[in-house]
Amino acid sequence: MAGVAQLVERWFVVPVVAGSSPVTRPIEFSPTKVGVNFIRLGRTNVAITEISTVKLFCIDFLRHLWYNTYESADILSAVFLLPWLYAGAFFVITKGVFMQKVSYMGNDETTEFYFSFPYFETSNVVVSKNGTPATGCNIIGNSGGLDADYPFIGGKVVFDIAPTSLDSITIARQLPLTRIADYQPLTQITPTTLNQDLNYLMEVIKDRKGELTDLITKYSEIADKESTEIILARITAIHEEITDIDAKIQALGDISTLRTDITTNTNNIATNTGNITTLDTRTTGMIDYVVASQAPTAENNYTWYRKYKSGWVEQGGMQTGSQEATMGYDADLGTITLPVPMNSSDYYANGVNVNFFLLAKVTKTTTTLKLQFVPYETTRVLTKVYWCVCGKAA
């Protein structure tokens, strides 16, 4: 699939392909030179040399018409739809032919992304995806031909896997500040070598000029009146805050005295903490208090407990059910799981009921309790039991 670029950054942009949002920055050329970078036909980029002379004449005529109408415009970029050429084709007409940077947004389909700036070797082309160096792609350059002034004139970047619609692809030229030719005495200097050497230096100068222009543009914004007023207002606000803080510090008086007071209070707190620890040690076994408790609710099956600092625990609850028994036989409502495990099975346990039964047997473990009852007389049904346990918790 082929990539599509639209010029932005101080250029008019008309979207033509859903999901694409390419960005390019042109190298500055003479205002009299206007070039058509590429033509989009359906999903394919068609080189300008493949368009017939008649069609190029139409493009040149439209360009001439645009200049005559907006000759005073500082920014020139237009998209012309020519239905008599190809359905879906469009043209981007801009100042300059070569660009040193072009950016695309992926669309989950496109794997080929074109660029038109000249370069000298593959390492001059830097490809990034989402701001980091791109992997899984190859750079295929257009050879400038034998004895060309530029070894490569544009080319394309081909990805193994198509970038997604969330991926931003940037193709930029990066020329290191170094010599590409070393002329030796008594060695023939060919026009190709000399032209490429000088062209390299010129392109480096152009790139640095573009970077300098960007820097000036970026920081010139803070020099305009509105930005300056905003900055001055912020500086004034900060000054007022500092003045306010200074006044509060002055109101405190002698800071050394305040520091002494704080140190004294800290020492007093430490002394009191020690006294409390000593008191707690001396009252161990004499004063006890609840450290954990639970109130009976429907969610906990109406069980409750109070656990004390010493380890003593009181707990109880309610059992419901239905168990019939005759005189001489026992009944129970099942095994009770204690909410707080006991230290041993040697603890106090008791239970009462509302059905005229007598407690006959108690079976205890450290975690469970079973209460068995016998009726006073005749046959009765055991339906509700209240139980209670006291002792040392585990």
**pLDDT 10s digits, 187-198:** 888 888 888 889
pLDDT for the residue numbered 216: 80
* Tokens, residue 76: 């020139």
pLDDT exceeds 80 at position 352 = yes
Q: 3-state class of 310 per DSSP?
A: coil
Kindly indicate the confidence band of residue 231, based on its pLDDT and cuts at 50, 70 and 90: confident
Is the pTM higher than 0.85? no
Which of 104 and 215 is assigned the larger pLDDT? 104
For residues 65 and 89, is the Cβ–Cβ distance under 8 A?
no
Question: Which residues make Cβ contacts (< 8 Å) with residue 198, sequence separation at least 6?
Answer: none
Residue 93 burial by CB count (10 A; 0-12/13-18/19+): exposed, middle or buried? buried
Rg over CA atoms, the chain: 45
Q: Which of 50-54, 120-124, 156-160, 381-385 is least confident? A: 50-54
**In the chain, how long is the greatest CA-to-CA distance?**
135
pLDDT for the residue numbered 260: 77
How far apart (Å, rounded) are the C-alpha atoms in residues 85 and 79? 14
Which of 90 and 190 is assigned the larger pLDDT? 190
Residue type, 190: T
For residues 78 and 11, is the Cβ–Cβ distance under 8 A?
no
* Tokens, residue 88: 């879906």
How far apart (Å, rounded) are the C-alpha atoms in residues 118 and 142? 9
Q: How many CB atoms lie within 10 A of CB 216?
A: 9
The mean pLDDT of 227-243, rounded to a whole number, is 83
Q: 3-state class of 320 per DSSP?
A: strand
DSSP per residue over 43-81, as a string? TEEE-GGGS-HHHHHHHHHHHHHHHHHSTT-S--EEEE-
Q: 3-state class of 94 per DSSP?
A: strand
For residues 307 and 393, is the Cβ–Cβ distance under 8 A?
yes
Which of 133 and 62 is assigned the larger pLDDT? 133
Beta bridge partners of 292: 307
How far apart (Å, rounded) are the C-alpha atoms in residues 145 and 136? 28
**pLDDT 10s digits, 4-34:** 443 333 333 333 333 444 443 333 333 223 3
pLDDT for the residue numbered 233: 83
The mean pLDDT of 212-219, rounded to a whole number, is 79
pLDDT exceeds 50 at position 319 = yes
pLDDT exceeds 80 at position 247 = yes
Residues of the chain above pLDDT 90, percent: 37
The mean pLDDT of 326-351, rounded to a whole number, is 93
Which of 86 and 286 is assigned the larger pLDDT? 286
Which of 143 and 10 is assigned the larger pLDDT? 143
Q: How many CB atoms lie within 10 A of CB 150?
A: 20
pLDDT for the residue numbered 21: 40
pLDDT for the residue numbered 180: 79
Place of tokens 């139980």: 387
SS3 per-residue string spanning 270-308: HHHHHHHHHHHHHCCCCCCCEEEEECCCCCCCCCEEEEE
**Which residue, 63, 9, 7, 4, is CA-closest to 38?**
4
